[in-house]
């Protein structure tokens, strides 16, 4: 990012800074949108009709400056963006429909103003940048308390997608109207099997599985391709971006043996989604996503919560029109036209204003006072969530998306970026009568990354009694030892590249080219790869096909929740992660890419070819 020029805006008066700081000290523990006691009395005159925030780059003052700003009810907030990327000023607090109380996008080197909605009463409103949620600030609205906009209520019972368990499964891809919001019209979506998310496929490890997808979507959806994320299967069954496509009216059967080197693959929490070249972001946004569970008997014998106590949760953000229809935020996919213009990289972040769980806004689930296994999937295009419970109880992580961890890890919060999954146990024992909210909170670790959203996602209503016997043993699985070479066979560097035509996301300096093979590896070998992020923002890097192990993170032993198999890693700016895998069973082409889907569509993808040395 470029350094910004001379600071010249300063409508906010120093006296007000001191005033706000004192008030914030008192009210820090209040929830967002709480009223500000005494604010009206302390209010000076008209200066607060307008206030300005600058977005500063670099140094200690980088971010919003000032970080707290005071404004009278109905006043005008101006934001000067001195950075060369877009930012937003978006309230944490949302209205009944889930949209932020205020939300202002400021393109690079631009100034934008916003008149506060007149119903925004006096109070303290934390805000953040939706593209860089680690940038945070607070707006103190003074004046009449007014009616503080009501936060959403948890009105809809959580839907559990239909579970398909057969050996031969057929899923039509079709347009359907889905109940997303509790009130008003349904939302027209592109779906797997008529629901969003699509049906959950649940199959035993080692059991041959064939899934046929039929393209009954409107013609403008174009050709499609379905990737089983976290799986191990032939290149032709991998859902490649440009090959083996499913044309309008066509169908394709994907064969998933659910084995690896003759052994059943680990029990895992995968998902399936569209992967079409240039259109992955749009197709996923419109609804082409579903969950995929692989089970095995060894896991079942552990005694973890099961049956109705095992709840898969697909979490994803989307934006809607007033009529509850999905917005269409995607620039033209005409050959590289996206490289210039307001949404060119790095401003190609698709952030949804409402966060949905299993395709529903603010659902609730009635639970017993027992232990529950929650399978958390972040199916968003860009946003990260740091999951935490409102009652302060921990999430005991027992698995990644790719399998169980060797031992459970007790965590207060679990940060997941796009395509990352966590298998966690939560304990509602002793919580009878309580309502517990699953929140996403601002990222709590010291990482220098992009940050996470802040919102209430769903509610658990703990009622009744339970005689459940579930437990969490302290040994869960054994990860097969891997003879990891000292030598790094391939380094994949993720960055932003600019050339004479515009900007694109790159891997090793290049834009994805389906006709180029970026690395070749011999079938049967073990390789150590290095993933490096040299850009200014966090990326979530996904490797297809193998059972990857995390060797090191920034040269150190990875944290305990990265001691299992993994397929998608967070790479904060400047980070380096070493991974290793054995390349088994299938020769052919497979993908490496960022799972922020706009980044993937805008160049940040590469491919490796597994080559059979015996020809
Ligand atoms: Cu989940 Cu190549 O993607
Ligand atoms: Cu990325």
pLDDT digits (tens, 9 = 90+) for 134-171: 999 999 999 888 777 788 999 999 999 999 999 999 99
Environment class of 154 (CB within 10 Å of its CB; exposed 0-12, middle 13-18, buried 19+)? buried
Q: What is the number of the ligand 1 atom nearest to the C-alpha of 600?
A: 2
As separate numbers, helices (DSSP H) first and strands (DSSP E) second, the chain gives 5, 44
Burial class of residue 446 (count of CB atoms within 10 Å of its CB; 0-12, 13-18, 19+): exposed
Task: Tell me which H or E stretch contains 140.
Answer: strand 136-142
Of residues 587, 612, 593, the one with CA closest to residue 241: 593
What pLDDT does 60 receive?
64
Strand, coil or helix: what is 126?
strand
Nearest to 576 by CA among 482, 503, 492: 492
- What pLDDT, in 10s, does the model give residues 206-233? 999 999 999 999 999 999 999 999 999 9
Give me the count of residues in the chain.
615
Task: Please name which ligand lies nearest the alpha carbon of 590.
Answer: 1
Task: Kindly give the number of the ligand 1 atom that is closest to the alpha carbon of 605.
Answer: 2
Give the integer Cα–Cα distance in Å for 498 and 536.
14
Query: What is the enclosing helix (H) or strand (E) of 282?
Result: helix 280-285
- Residue 419 Cβ inside 6 Å of ligand 1? The answer reads yes
Query: How high is the pLDDT of residue 133?
Result: 92
Averaged pLDDT, 14-27: 30
pLDDT reading at 33 higher than 60:
no
Residue 572 pLDDT greater than 60, yes or no: yes
Averaged pLDDT score across all residues of the chain: 91
538 CA from centroid of ligand 1 (Å)? 17
Q: Which atom of ligand 1 is nearest to the CA of 239?
A: 2
What per-residue confidence (pLDDT) applies to 146?
A: 77
pLDDT at 27: 31
Q: Determine how many CB atoms are found less than 10 A away from the CB of residue 180.
A: 24
Instruction: Tell me the CB-side half-sphere exposure of residue 125, using CA atoms within 13 A.
Output: 30
Percentage of residues of the chain with pLDDT beyond 70: 92
Q: Contact at 8 Å (CB) between 192 and 170? A: no
Alpha carbons 54 and 83: distance in angstroms, whole number: 10
Mean of pLDDT values over 387-406: 98
DSSP annotation of 99 reads -
d(CA 222, CA 279): 9
Do the beta carbons of residue 461 and residue 385 sit within 8 Å? no
The finding on whether 602 has its CB within 6 A of some atom of ligand 1 is no
Mean pLDDT over residues 503-511, rounded? 98
Q: What is the distance between the alpha carbons of residues 480 and 565, in angstroms, rounded to a whole number?
A: 10
Contact 522, 583 (CB under 8 A): yes
C-alpha 490/C-alpha 493 separation (Å) is 10
Sheet holding 76-81, edge to edge: 63-65, 50-56, 76-81, 111-115
Q: What digits encode the pLDDT tens for the residues 458-492? A: 999 999 999 999 999 999 999 989 999 999 999 99
Tell which residue, 15, 21, 18, 46, has the closest CA to residue 143: 46
Could you tell me if 566 and 597 are in contact, meaning their C-beta atoms sit under 8 angstroms apart? no
In this predicted structure, what is the pLDDT of residue 59? 67
Lowest mean pLDDT among 116-130, 399-413, 570-584: 116-130
For 588-608, what is each residue's pLDDT tens digit? 999 999 999 999 999 999 999
DSSP state of 168: E
Identify the H or E element spanning 25.
helix 14-27
Contact 397, 336 (CB under 8 A): no
Distance, CA of 413 to chain centre: 15
Using the predicted structure, report yes or no on whether residue 8 has a pLDDT greater than 50. no
| Ligand 1 center to 570 CA (angstroms) | 14
| The token pair that represents 564 in the structure block | 């299992």
Report the separation in Å between the CA atom of 122 and the middle of ligand 1, taken as the mean of its atom positions: 45
Which band of pLDDT confidence, cut at 50, 70 and 90, is reported for residue 20? very low
Residue 164 Cβ inside 6 Å of ligand 1? The answer reads: no
Written as one string, the DSSP assignment of 31-95 is PTT---TTHHHH--SGGGGEEEEEEE-SSTT-EEESSEEEEETT-EEEEEE-SSS-EEEEES-B-
The answer on pLDDT for 14 being more than 70 is no
Ligand 2 centroid vs 382 CA: distance in angstroms? 8
Backbone phi, then psi, for 488, in 5-degree steps? -85, 120
pLDDT reported for residue 62 = 79
Q: Quick check: helix, strand or coil at residue 464?
A: coil
Specify the ligand 1 atom closest to the Cα of 544.
2
Taking only the tens place, the pLDDT of each residue in 106-124 is 999 999 999 998 888 899 9
Question: Residue 600 CA: which ligand is closest?
Answer: 2
Instruction: Quote the CA–CA distance of 82 and 54 in Å, as a whole number.
Output: 7
Per-residue pLDDT band at 42 (split at 50, 70, 90) = very low
46/38: higher pLDDT: 46
Q: 47 falls in which pLDDT band (50, 70, 90)?
A: low
Closest Cα to atom 3, ligand 1: which residue?
229
Across the strands, what pairs with 71? 141
Ligand 1: which residue has its CA nearest to atom 1? 229
Closest ligand, as measured to the CA of 280? 1
**538 C-alpha to center of ligand 2: Å?**
7
Q: Which atom of ligand 1 is nearest to the CA of 591?
A: 2
What is the distance in A from the centroid of ligand 1 to the CA of 112?
A: 36
Residue 98: DSSP 8-state: S
Tell how far the Cα of 565 is from the centroid of ligand 2, in angstroms. 21
Q: What sign has the CA pseudo-torsion 418, 537, 95, 318?
A: negative
Are 259 and 207 in contact, with CB atoms under 8 Å apart? no
> Does the structure show a pLDDT above 70 at 498?
yes
CA-only gyration radius of the chain, Å: 24
Is the model's pLDDT at 615 over the cut of 80?
Answer: no
C-alpha 329 – ligand 1 centre gap (Å): 21
Percent of the chain with pLDDT over 90: 85
> For position 290, what pLDDT does the model report?
98
pTM of the model: 0.91
Neighbours of 153 (CB within 10 A): 11
Answer whether residue 41 shows pLDDT above 70: no
Binding site membership of 276 for ligand 1 (Cβ less than 6 Å): no
pLDDT grade, residue 328 (50/70/90)?
very high
Tokens of 59: 């140094």
CA of 230, closest atom in ligand 1 = 1
Q: Residues 199, 193: contact at Cβ < 8 Å?
A: yes
How much is the pLDDT for 23?
Answer: 29
Is the pLDDT higher at 337 or at 448? 337
Closest ligand to C-alpha of residue 229 is: 1
- Mean pLDDT over 369-373 rounds to 98
Q: Please state, as a whole number, how many other Cβ atoms lie within 10 Å of the Cβ of residue 354.
A: 20
Q: Which ligand is nearest to the CA of 603?
A: 2
| CA of 240 relative to ligand 1 center, distance in Å | 9
Sign, CA dihedral 333-336-341-342, equals: positive
The pLDDT of residue 15: 29
Residue 12 pLDDT greater than 90, yes or no: no
Q: How far is the CA of 542 from the centre of ligand 1 (A)?
A: 7
Residue 177 has pLDDT above 50, yes or no: yes
Distance CA 505, CA 484 (A): 30
| pLDDT greater than 60 at residue 38 | no
How far is residue 84's CA from residue 311's CA, in Å, rounded to a whole number? 42
DSSP class of 391: T
Ligand 1 touching residue 229 (CB < 6 A): yes
**C-alpha to C-alpha distance for 583 and 261, rounded to whole angstroms:** 9
């Amino acid at each position: 990012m470029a350094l910004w020029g001379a600071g010249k805006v300063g409508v906010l008066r120093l006296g007000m800074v001191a005033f706000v700081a004192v008030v914030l000290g008192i009210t820090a523990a209040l929830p967002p949108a709480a009223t500000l006691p005494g604010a009206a009395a302390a209010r000076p005159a008209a200066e607060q009709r307008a206030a300005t925030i600058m977005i500063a780059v670099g140094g200690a003052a980088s971010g919003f400056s000032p970080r707290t700003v005071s404004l009278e009810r109905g006043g005008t907030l101006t934001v000067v963006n001195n950075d060369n990327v877009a930012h937003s000023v978006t309230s944490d607090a949302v209205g009944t429909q889930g949209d932020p109380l205020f939300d202002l996008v400021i393109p690079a080197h631009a100034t934008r103003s916003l008149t506060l909605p007149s119903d925004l009463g006096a109070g303290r409103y934390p805000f953040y940048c939706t593209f860089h949620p680690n940038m945070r600030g607070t707006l103190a609205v003074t004046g009449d308390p007014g009616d503080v906009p009501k936060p959403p209520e948890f009105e809809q019972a959580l839907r559990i997608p239909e579970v398909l368990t057969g050996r031969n499964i057929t899923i039509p891809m079709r347009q359907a109207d889905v109940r997303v919001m509790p009130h008003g019209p349904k939302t027209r979506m592109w779906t797997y099997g008529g629901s969003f998310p699509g049906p959950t496929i649940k199959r035993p490890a080692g059991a041959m599985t064939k899934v046929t997808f039929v393209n009954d979507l409107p013609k403008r959806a174009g050709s499609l391709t379905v990737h089983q994320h976290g799986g191990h299967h032939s290149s032709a069954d991998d859902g490649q971006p440009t090959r083996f496509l499913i044309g309008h009216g066509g169908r394709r059967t994907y064969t998933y043996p659910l084995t690896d080197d003759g052994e059943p693959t680990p029990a895992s929490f995968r998902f399936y989604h569209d992967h079409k070249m240039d259109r992955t972001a749009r197709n996923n946004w419109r609804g082409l996503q579903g969950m995929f569970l692989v089970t095995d008997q060894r896991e079942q014998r552990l005694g973890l919560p099961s049956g109705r106590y095992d709840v898969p949760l697909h979490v994803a953000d989307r934006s809607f029109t007033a009529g509850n229809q999905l917005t269409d935020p995607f620039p033209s996919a005409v050959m590289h036209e996206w490289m210039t213009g307001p949404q060119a990289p790095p401003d190609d972040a698709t952030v949804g204003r409402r966060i949905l769980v299993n395709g529903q806004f603010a659902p609730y689930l009635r639970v017993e006072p027992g232990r529950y296994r929650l399978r958390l999937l972040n199916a968003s295009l860009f946003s990260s969530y740091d999951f935490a419970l409102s009652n302060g109880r921990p999430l005991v992580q027992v698995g990644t998306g790719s399998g169980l961890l060797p031992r459970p890890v007790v965590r207060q919060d679990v940060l997941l970026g796009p395509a990352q999954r966590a298998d966690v146990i939560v304990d509602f024992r002793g919580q009878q009568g309580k309502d517990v909210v699953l929140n996403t909170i601002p990222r709590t670790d010291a990482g220098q990354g992009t940050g996470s959203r802040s919102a209430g996602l769903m509610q658990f209503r703990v009622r009744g009694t339970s005689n459940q016997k579930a437990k969490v043993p302290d040994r869960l699985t054994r990860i097969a030892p891997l003879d990891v070479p000292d030598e790094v066979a391939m380094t994949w560097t993720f960055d932003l590249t600019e050339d004479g035509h515009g900007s694109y996301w790159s891997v090793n300096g290049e834009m994805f080219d389906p006709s180029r093979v970026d690395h070749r590896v011999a079938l049967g070998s073990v390789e150590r790869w290095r993933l490096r992020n040299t850009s200014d923002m966090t990326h979530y890097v996904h490797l297809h096909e193998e059972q990857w192990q995390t060797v090191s993170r920034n040269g150190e032993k990875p944290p305990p929740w990265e001691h299992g198999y993994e397929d998608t890693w967070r790479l904060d700016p400047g980070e380096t992660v070493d991974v290793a895998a054995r390349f088994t069973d299938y020769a052919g082409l497979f993908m490496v890419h960022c799972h922020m889907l706009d980044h993937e569509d805008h160049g940040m993808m590469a491919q490796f070819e597994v080559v059979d040395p015996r020809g």
